[in-house]
Amino acid sequence: MSILLNKNTNILIQGITGSEGSFHAEQMIEYGSKVVCGVTPGKGGQTATENKLPVFNSIHDAKKEFKIDATVIFVPPRFAAQAIIEAIEESIELIVCISEGIPTRDMVTVKNMLDKSSSTLIGPNCPGLITAEESKIGITPGFICKKGSVGILSRSGTLTYEAIDQVVNVGLGITTAVGIGGDPVIGSSMIDILKHFKDDDDTKGIVMIGEIGGNMENDAARWVKENLNKPVVSFIAGQTAPKGKRMGHAGAIISEGSETAEAKIKILKECGISVANTVSEIGITMKSLIG
Amino acid sequence: MKIHEYQAKEILKKFNVPIQEGYAIDNSKDIDSTIKKVQADFNSEAVVVKAQIHAGGRGKGGGVKYCPTFEDAQDAANTILGMNLITHQTGPEGKMVNKILITEALDIEEEYYFAITFDRSKNSDVFIVSKEGGVDIEEVAENSPEKIIKSWIDDSPNALEDAVKEIISSLSLEKFENVEQMFKDLYRCYIESDCSLLEINPLVSTTNEEIIALDAKVDIDSNSLFRHPEIAAYHDKSEEDPLELQAAEYGLNYIKLDGNVGCMVNGAGLAMATMDIVKHCGGEPANFLDVGGAANVETIKNGFKIILSDKNVKSILINIFGGIVRCDRVANGVIQAVKELELDVIVVVRLQGTNAKLAKKILDESDIELISAETINEAATKAVEMIK
């Protein structure tokens, strides 16, 4: 079992003819993902990648020939919101947006549409998700993953990889790892992903990686306390970050007291979550709980 | 992106928001003529001279002066233009005032606080208002939070209408004729200019029964600048740290801090986590530096250049998780950069991910002085211990 994604998920790639899109299409296929086709407006009828995947002008056209369960978006930020909207309008179940730098205003519009739809959006500005030894959508390096019992969710890309690597190295392995993205407005919150992990019998423990900015970790901590009966290990990046400075991610900026790493760690602990002292201790902390 | 008060007022004016009028100058030769022009154009003997820097608290720091006469204005303008202004937001080193705004003086009756920003937790814009205007709003929020009123604008059809009514009532502004339209114009300005913050502190009522924006602080969502070329042109490079600017030109994301352990990392989250573990090991990080997804010889070389421009740096910790990037390539890049730049600081390298073992072998066998480490903890400990 896994969440959101498995080896049978039919995947479409928006922006497949771009350099990122075609490179990662190859990487995904190599990992075992069932990539069936791509979309680039104006390039319908062509083929892309060495696997000669068909390219369509729109998702609408692609759906006439393929059953599409998920789409992944590799398009420039100024067009990315429109690409997400197209996927929502075509009722694609799972939408993953890798693009970084989408204007917040565009994402507010997307989020309002999303809330009225049946689609799930992961990202933007995220590495995507991977179900170990089955399928990946996005840019997570596949070779670091081994099947196991830990679910991972994170606001940061390379910290997701770091967590996967540590959890695999202590011998636990992962079910699914989800990078939810570092922007102020994202499709799926920590709670949204935790709900999926709660229902997944194979997921015995959860690693939840947050950072400064916003209150998502605090909301998630309270939700865990009320609703979740599985051990959670957390890590919050940015304990040394100065106030008012945007630390790389658009979402990683402290504007209220509750948004500091210190405040979040306090709330997480109060809600019964084990917080790793340093980034090096994520794996061993999980091992001590479910090893 | 931050912009100056005078620039923010230019934007507000385009949306018909009444502002305290004036002219901005950056040359002391223009002081006398500009004061006269303000006095004539806005029919105001008294003027106000305001330092234009990207930081709040300008008044308390001596950067804003009310001047009843021409001579007072001359004195104030000559003092403020070119001064090093220190406020609670500039840090102890202060900021050079390169521009001043000379404005009309208004007869103020009441001062209010007004802001629009985005509330992530509700996925909604929010009006934040208070009758306690003209003062540090963070202090008001701290000491008397009940004096701050928030009104959210969600995507329902009457949300804006309702929120505007609510703030007018809570500020008791019903008697002012155009105030409803003004709040709507402010909101339209906020939306159409892709502001992440639009703050008017204070918004004032005058003895002429007008409502006017006396000050303006506007932050623009940098990701939206492609559709606002006229706002992008407001970017004032002199307000930014020169090293951060240079890093941005290299495509690197760098923020200078006060410590002596330089950090070079791929990914913002991992970069913050690396700073944290340096501190945890008893050291002080010198910077945040995210070299991005594609760490290659060029980005690493540029990263070194930026970090080494900070003379406090005694050691450099490189922490790269090679996902798509192969670690052996990064290792070769580090070796090449160290040789070319003739580094004389301690360099600790931790590479994990694709081809990590090969990378460690390359580093260990190279003829340059590098310390390689396997875990972040080991790397941070070494980077801190070696300079004690």
Rounded mean pLDDT of A30-55? 94
pLDDT of the residue at A36: 97
Going by the DSSP 8-state scheme, the letter that residue B22 receives in this structure is E
Residues B178 and B29 in one domain: no
- Kindly give, in sequence order, each residue whose CB lies less than 8 Å from that of residue B388, ignoring residues fewer than 6 positions away: none
**Count of residues making up chain B:** 388
Question: If contacts are CB pairs under 8 Å, which of residues 47-106 in chain A contact chain B?
Answer: 77-78, 101-105
Residues B16 and B138 in one domain: yes
Residues B81 and B91 in one domain: yes
Which chain A residues are closer than 8 Å to B145 by Cβ?
none
Going by the DSSP 8-state scheme, the letter that residue A33 receives in this structure is -
Residues B2 and B150 in one domain: yes
**CATH code of the domain in which B82 resides:** 3.30.1490.20
In B, minimum Cα distance to A184 occurs at B120
Which chain B residues are closer than 8 Å to A114 by Cβ?
none
Residue of A22, A21, A69, A15 lying closest to A41 (CA atoms): A15
CB contact under 8 Å between B269 and A211, yes or no, is yes
Q: CB of B322 within 8 A of CB of B302?
A: no
Residues B61 and B195 in one domain: no
Task: Report d(CA B11, CA B218) in Å as an integer.
Answer: 9
Last residue of a domain, one of B217, B239, B261: B239
Q: CB of B106 within 8 A of CB of B212?
A: yes
Interface contact A242, partner B, CB < 8 A: yes
CA angle B143, B201, B188 (to 5 degrees): 120
**CATH code of the domain in which B133 resides:** 3.30.470.20
The pLDDT tens digits of the residues spanning A53-96 come to: 999 999 999 999 999 999 999 999 999 999 999 999 999 999 99
**Cα radius of gyration rounded to whole Å, chain A:** 18
Which chain B residues are closer than 8 Å to A261 by Cβ?
276
Confidence of residue A281 (pLDDT cuts 50, 70, 90): very high
Rounded mean pLDDT of B8-15? 98
B307-to-A47, A252, A261 alpha-carbon distances in Å:
45, 22, 25
Task: Report d(CA B25, CA B33) in Å as an integer.
Answer: 11
Task: Report d(CA B85, CA B94) in Å as an integer.
Answer: 5
Residues B93 and B197 in one domain: no
Closest to A103 (Cβ–Cβ): which among B224, B257, B352? B224
Q: CB of B39 within 8 A of CB of B31?
A: no
Q: CB of B257 within 8 A of CB of B286?
A: yes
Closest to A248 (Cβ–Cβ): which among B194, B271, B323? B271
Containing domain of residue B381, as a range?
Answer: 242-385
B318-to-A288, B41, B303, B386 alpha-carbon distances in Å:
29, 59, 10, 15
Q: How many domains does chain B have?
A: 3
Rounded mean pLDDT of B242-250? 92
Neighbours of A281 (CB within 10 A): 20
pLDDT of the residue at B137: 84
Q: CB of A106 within 8 A of CB of A100?
A: no
The pLDDT tens digits of the residues spanning A146-182 come to: 999 999 999 999 999 999 999 999 999 999 999 999 9
Q: What are phi and psi of B189, to 5 degrees?
A: -60, -45
**Smallest Cα distance from A64 to chain B, Å:** 33
Going by the DSSP 8-state scheme, the letter that residue A241 receives in this structure is P
Distinct helix (H) and strand (E) counts, chain B: 13, 18
- Strands A10-14 and A34-39: what pairing? parallel
**Cα radius of gyration rounded to whole Å, chain B:** 26
Task: Report d(CA B286, CA B315) in Å as an integer.
Answer: 9
Q: Which residues pair with B338 in a beta bridge?
A: none
| Enzyme catalytic residues of B | 113, 199
Percentage above 90 pLDDT, chain B? 74
Q: CB of A123 within 8 A of CB of A102?
A: no
Closest to B288 (Cβ–Cβ): which among A111, A239, A247? A247
Q: CB of A179 within 8 A of CB of A140?
A: yes
pLDDT of the residue at B369: 86
Interface contact B269, partner A, CB < 8 A: yes
CB contact under 8 Å between B376 and A280, yes or no, is yes
Q: What six digits make up the tokens of A80?
A: 């990315």
Residues B139 and B53 in one domain: no
Residues B6 and B150 in one domain: yes
Residues B143 and B161 in one domain: yes
Last residue of a domain, one of B190, B213, B239: B239
CB contact under 8 Å between A209 and B269, yes or no, is yes
Rounded mean pLDDT of B315-336? 87
The pLDDT tens digits of the residues spanning B189-204 come to: 999 999 999 999 999 9
Q: Which residues pair with B113 in a beta bridge?
A: B130
CB contact under 8 Å between B280 and A278, yes or no, is yes
pLDDT of the residue at B140: 86
Residues B218 and B290 in one domain: no
The pLDDT tens digits of the residues spanning B72-121 come to: 999 999 999 999 999 988 888 899 999 999 999 999 999 999 999 999 88
Residues B214 and B342 in one domain: no
Residue-averaged pLDDT of chain B: 93
Peptide bond before residue A141 is cis, with ω within 30 degrees of 0: no
The pLDDT tens digits of the residues spanning A194-224 come to: 999 999 999 999 999 999 999 999 999 999 9
**CATH code of the domain in which B259 resides:** 3.40.50.261
Question: If contacts are CB pairs under 8 Å, which of residues 163-222 in chain A contact chain B?
Answer: 165, 182, 184-185, 209, 211-212, 214-216, 219
Q: CB of A96 within 8 A of CB of A129?
A: yes
Helix, coil or strand: residue B327 = helix
Percentage above 70 pLDDT, chain A? 100
Task: Give yes or no for residue B294 having a pLDDT over 70.
Answer: no
The pLDDT tens digits of the residues spanning A128-156 come to: 999 999 999 999 999 999 999 999 999 99
Instruction: Provide the whole-model pTM.
Output: 0.93
Going by the DSSP 8-state scheme, the letter that residue B19 receives in this structure is B
The pLDDT tens digits of the residues spanning A100-127 come to: 999 999 999 999 999 999 999 999 999 9
Q: Which residues pair with A73 in a beta bridge?
A: A14, A97
pLDDT of the residue at B141: 84
Task: Give yes or no for residue B325 having a pLDDT over 80.
Answer: no
Q: CB of B316 within 8 A of CB of B334?
A: no
Closest to A240 (Cβ–Cβ): which among B253, B275, B353? B275
pLDDT of the residue at A286: 97
CB contact under 8 Å between A248 and B290, yes or no, is yes
**Smallest Cα distance from A291 to chain B, Å:** 21
Residues B167 and B277 in one domain: no
The CB-side HSE value for A147 (13 A sphere, CA atoms) comes to: 9
Going by the DSSP 8-state scheme, the letter that residue A144 receives in this structure is G
Last residue of a domain, one of B70, B105, B140: B105
Lookup result for tokens 């814009």: B125
Domains of chain A (ranges, CATH numbers): 10-122 (3.40.50.720), 141-290 (3.40.50.261)
pLDDT of the residue at B93: 87
